[in-house]
Amino acid sequence: MDKEEFLKSRDFMKLGQAIEHGNWQIAGMTASKMQRGAKEAGINDFDRQLIGIKQCIAGRAKREALNVLSIMVNKRVAMINEEKG
């Protein structure tokens, strides 16, 4: 997975939906997949947030997980905008 593919993946949305609906197992699997994808793409910017989200998922802390995800989405948008110019 390259950087552009990771940033444009639907995993961000899938993770948000899983957290919102309390599908903790899917949320955990998606966060792990995103962690691997970011590593493959050479993107270290999301490490901290993905670790935090996984901790929130383990504790079923919905609001905190969504807050961390919003930070990730903002970072993602900034990175996509940087790529565009």
Q: pLDDT at position 16, please? A: 97
- Count CB neighbours of 22 within 10 A: 10
pLDDT at residue 1, as a whole number = 85
Q: Would you put residue 27 in left (φ > 0), alpha (ψ -120 to 50) or beta?
A: alpha
Between CA 1 and CA 68 the distance in angstroms is 23
Say what the pLDDT of residue 84 is: 84
> Which pLDDT does position 83 carry in this prediction?
85
Q: What is the pLDDT of residue 12?
A: 97
Please give the Cα distance from 79 to 65 (Å, whole number). 21
Q: 10-residue block means of pLDDT along the chain (85 residues)? A: 93 98 98 96 94 97 97 96 86
